[in-house]
Amino acid sequence: KGVIVLCVLAVLCASEIQWRDYAGGMEEILETKKPGVVLIYRPTCPACRMLNGIFEKSPSVAALAKDFVMIRSVDGSESFQGAFEEVLFLLYNDCIDGAYVPRLFFISPQGTPLMDVMAVDSHSRFKYYYFSEEQLIKKMQLVKAKYE
């Protein structure tokens, strides 16, 4: 019985993430002065589904998400192209590492991408691809602490 209750609580907690579209989320970051998380993904991409699953199932990530404006930009949506183009434009100063998805960026409370917050070593080919819950939690905690 205890295991079932814990599983139900974990699912309920994780499903509480309030996702915004790109434009609305960026406005909210500037209004609330909270840092943001921008997730750019395609629903048909296996790696994207895996990363999205971390957001859906992790109570720790859901708890941390309350301290961020959470922005999800899905391929095929109006905000996807705008988010991808804007972030790539901001990355252009020798930071571009391709056009892969999923890609996750942290945004300062002033609305600027925190390009120095990377999932992996800066020499990696996929700097902004988070492949584990632990990796994501570590960077969320880092950004949260920076702006507390």
* DSSP 8-class letter at 73: E
69 pLDDT higher than 60: yes
List pLDDT tens digits, range 71-99. 988 765 555 555 555 655 555 444 556 66
Residue type, 93: N
What is the reported pTM?
0.80
49 pLDDT higher than 70: yes
CB 22 within 8 A of CB 79: yes
Q: Mean of the pLDDT values across residues 28-41? A: 94
